[in-house]
């Protein structure tokens, strides 16, 4: 038997294992439900069934399938993880383990954290037990993040942190915060350090910010004489800018949709259009112009997903790179395009904000459409991503 045949047999055996495990552990009543741990627009309110499903996936390590088993991950190969995704999609199962700990902080800590930090934080993330938030942007340090002024004063065995962060997604519900602070005022990028801060520490205050969509998914966060133990520093002093940039690459890949296993789930735009617009004699969407635009979107989206998969597969580290800026720019734009098409398809029924006459899905679609306007801004605006692409990918440097 050839090596290829051996691998195929192993994957077939693993697929059978996954199917049997899902049949035993995934409640059919949860099919199509939201992943509460990955959301930032509200607290985690789990039903007993959801909690049991999260616990089962957490104990198996399959919520973070390719993370090392020694830290609570699944320890799966990429091929096995793909089989797991396919089998979950087949039965309508969703990953109950998510949030910033999974999409941003965890992969970064696996690369830069000490052994003690990995053992302390990664298993809880893998089990979906801890929610993390991000302390990056400040009122005068958004696009120019390196201008941040939140200061951590060295007090021997701990730091004392004073300052303000803004746009702290999920800060009012988070247990912990990964935060960029300044430890040296004489350097810009070189004076930044990466700290982990408990959100229940004395001196931490959050004030939710309300969006145009009606939600308050993020906050202003204030630090007043907050004590942070030295063991909560990731890397060395002054290494925060390097670590912080790596984390942003993970964030941008995931915000684009390129790092998610289950994307844009639910009925397709074509199915929704057939319901609202109707079909012609051949069973196609009745409006030919709308039909053409939906077809183009579906082709663009599938091309994007295939590109994202190829980029990840070709990465030497199996992770992310500056190409994440391309994925973020294209993926978020496509997400906005889909939301616009959905609103157009539904017509007047796609403009509901609240009240009778609108379904829950229609109201959610409007709010998601408005929320989506921010995706080309947060995580690094499209303009910032274009600069990264020009300088670090295309090699276009300024010439005096």
Task: Kindly list the catalytic residues.
Answer: 251
For residue 173, give Cα distances in angstroms to 97, 208, 297: 16, 10, 35
C-beta separation of 125 from 102 below 8 A = yes
DSSP H helical ranges for the chain: 3-25, 48-60, 78-91, 100, 106-112, 115-126, 240-256, 269-276, 288-314, 324-346, 360-371, 382-388
- Give the position of tokens 């990466």: 194
For residues 244 and 194, the answer to whether their CB atoms sit within 8 Å is yes
- CA-only gyration radius of the chain, Å: 22
Report DSSP letters for 311-362, one per residue.
Answer: HHHH-TTSS--TTHHHHHHHHHHHHHHHHHHHHHHHGGGG---SSTTS-HHH
Distance of alpha carbon 232 from alpha carbon 211, whole angstroms: 32
The Cβ of residue 158 has, within 10 Å, a number of other Cβ atoms equal to 17
In degrees and rounded to multiples of 5, residue 209 shows phi and psi of -110, 125
């Amino acid at each position: 038997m050839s090596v290829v045949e051996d691998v195929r047999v192993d994957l077939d055996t693993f697929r059978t294992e996954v199917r049997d495990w899902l049949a035993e552990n995934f409640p059919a009543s949860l099919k199509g439900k939201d992943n509460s741990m990955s959301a930032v627009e509200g607290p985690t309110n789990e039903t007993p069934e959801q909690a049991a499903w999260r616990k089962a996936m957490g104990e198996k390590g399959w919520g973070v399938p390719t993370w090392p088993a020694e830290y609570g991950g699944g320890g799966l190969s990429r091929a096995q993880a793909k089989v797991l995704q396919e089998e979950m999609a087949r039965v309508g199962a969703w990953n109950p383990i998510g949030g910033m700990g999974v999409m941003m902080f965890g992969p970064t800590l696996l690369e830069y954290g000490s052994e003690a930090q990995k053992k302390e934080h990664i298993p809880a993330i893998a089990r979906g037990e801890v929610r993390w938030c991000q302390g990056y942007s400040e009122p005068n340090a958004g696009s120019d993040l390196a201008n941040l002024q939140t200061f951590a004063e060295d007090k021997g065995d701990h730091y004392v942190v004073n300052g303000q962060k803004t746009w702290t997604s999920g800060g009012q519900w988070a247990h912990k915060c990964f935060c960029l602070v300044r430890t040296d005022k004489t350097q810009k990028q070189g004076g930044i350090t990466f700290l982990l801060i408990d959100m229940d520490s004395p001196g931490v205050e959050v004030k939710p910010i309300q969006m145009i969509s009606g939600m308050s998914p993020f906050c202003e966060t204030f630090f007043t004489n907050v004590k942070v133990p030295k063991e909560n520093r990731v890397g060395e002093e002054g290494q925060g800018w390097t670590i912080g940039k790596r984390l942003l690459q993970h964030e941008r890949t995931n915000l684009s949709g390129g790092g998610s296993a289950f994307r844009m789930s639910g009925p397709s735009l074509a199915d929704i259009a057939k319901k609202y617009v109707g079909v012609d004699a051949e069973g196609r969407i009745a409006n030919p112009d709308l039909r053409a635009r939906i077809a183009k979107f579906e082709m663009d989206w599938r091309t994007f997903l295939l590109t994202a998969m190829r980029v990840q597969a070709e990465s030497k580290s199996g992770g992310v790179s500056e190409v994440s800026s391309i994925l973020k720019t294209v993926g978020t734009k496509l997400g906005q395009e889909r939301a616009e098409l959905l609103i157009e398809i539904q017509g007047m029924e796609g403009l509901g904000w609240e009240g009778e006459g609108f379904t829950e899905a229609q109201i959610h679609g409007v709010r998601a459409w408005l929320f989506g306007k921010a995706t080309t801004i947060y995580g690094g605006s499209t303009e910032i991503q274009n600069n990264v692409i020009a300088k670090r990918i295309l090699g276009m440097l300024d010439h005096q």
